[in-house]
Amino acid sequence: MIGTEIEKARALLLQDEVVAIPTETVYGLAGNALSEKAVSKIFEAKNRPHFDPLIVHVSGISEVSKYVEEVPQMAYDLMGRFWPGALTILLPKKSCIPDLTTSGLKEVGIRIPNHPITLELLRSLPFPLAAPSANPFGYISPTSAQHVADQLGEKIPYVLNGGNCSVGIESTVLRVQHNEIEILRLGGISVEALQHFTSNIHIQQHSSSSPAAPGMLTSHYAPRKPVYVGNIRELMHDFVSQKIGVLSFKEDYKIEAQRILSKNGSFTEAAANLFAFLRELDQLDIDVILAEFLPNENLGRAINDKLKRASAK
């Protein structure tokens, strides 16, 4: 059921139920981060493997020290600059965060989401919210309440509607070590924005098998239709005998099943449209989705990363 009642969401969460919540990045499937019962329900509803840890959402910077052992100065600087916002910081967890929430890892990922409804909800609760993206494991993340209801509607009691997500791609996940930032997942805060804090930024390479990088699985965000990324004109030629759909950055390829991420070439607009357009194309009567990379800078880098994973076989 979709609705806008914060009070209803609050009541369910207080009873260890799960509720889908809006954030500026993507919709999350939320439950009490301190309750093993609630966290188990999240894994179950998503059909998510237990080795993939959850992000914990808090309402203010002052909350962080309740859940983590120590916070390096640079982490505080990043929080001050980017929170509330699309940045998740990994920090050594305190024991009040169940191992189930972090899949047994010693660090917990924390962020303050930038959405007025969810901030109000968080402030009204006596616990933080664990929330992965509210999609079945392996599918595209939801950027509207309807996307959530379409796929998880039967499995969860409530979807709190906060409109379309303004950023549209997930948070950047990083850890801070000494003067270095290690990025585990590219996302809504760009590498360029982080470079104001240190030039020492390392982007972790993904792997489809490494348990050291849980959730960074290569084949992620995948639509059900096969996706090919490259030079769209050449791909159109290669797939001439099939029904094709096109996902372009800004160019109009003059085909019927086409979505243009941003006609005027805005990375921000492209990110906000990406997942909704992939879903739409996935539902059309086509055989394959042909896409192209964006310039590899700013949010283009994160979008390219999602496209690579969507196309991973």
Among 215, 223, 245, 300, binds ligand TXA (CB under 6 A): 215
Which of 217, 286 has the CB closer to ligand TXA? 217
Closest to 22 (Cα-Cα) out of 88, 118, 109, 111: 118
Cα–Cα distance measured from residue 248 to residue 254, given in angstroms and rounded to the nearest whole number: 11
Task: Give me the least distance between CB of 204 and Mg ion, in Å please.
Answer: 16
Cα–Cα distance measured from residue 99 to residue 9, given in angstroms and rounded to the nearest whole number: 25
Cα–Cα distance measured from residue 187 to residue 189, given in angstroms and rounded to the nearest whole number: 6
From the list 33-41, 99-107, 146-154, 298-306, the region that binds ligand TXA by CB under 6 A is 99-107
Closest to 21 (Cα-Cα) out of 11, 13, 29: 29
* 270: three-class secondary structure by DSSP: helix
From the list 59-67, 115-123, 169-177, 254-262, the region that binds ligand TXA by CB under 6 A is 169-177
Task: Give me the least distance between CB of 225 and ligand TXA, in Å please.
Answer: 21
Chain positions 121 to 140 lying near ligand TXA, rule: CB under 6 A, are 131-133
Among 13, 23, 89, 159, binds ligand TXA (CB under 6 A): 23
Task: Give me the least distance between CB of 171 and ligand TXA, in Å please.
Answer: 3
How close are the terminal C-alpha atoms of the chain, in Å?
A: 34
Lateral strand order in the sheet of 159-160: 2-3, 159-160, 19-21, 28-32, 129-130, 55-57, 107-111, 87-92, 172-177, 180-185, 201-203
Prior bond of 116 cis (ω within 30°): no
Does 173 sit near ligand TXA (CB under 6 A)? yes
Chain positions 183 to 212 lying near ligand TXA, rule: CB under 6 A, are 184-185
- How many Cα neighbours within 13 Å face the side chain of 263? 2
Q: Which residue lies nearest Mg ion, judged by its C-beta?
A: 133
Which DSSP state fits 208? Answer: S
- The item of ligand TXA, Mg ion, none sharing an interface with residue 312, based on CB under 5 to 8 Å by kind, is none
Q: Which residue lies nearest ligand TXA, judged by its C-beta?
A: 215
Among 12, 13, 20, 55, binds ligand TXA (CB under 6 A): 55
Which of 52, 99 has the CB closer to Mg ion? 52
Beta bridge partners of 288: 244
Q: For Mg ion, what does the binding mask look like between residues 127 and 156, x meaning CB under 5 A?
A: ------x-----------------------
Beta bridge partners of 260: 248
Per CB under 6 A, residues contacting ligand TXA are 23, 25-26, 28, 52-55, 88, 90, 102, 105, 107-109, 113, 131-133, 170-171, 173, 184-185, 214-216
Per CB under 5 A, residues contacting Mg ion are 133
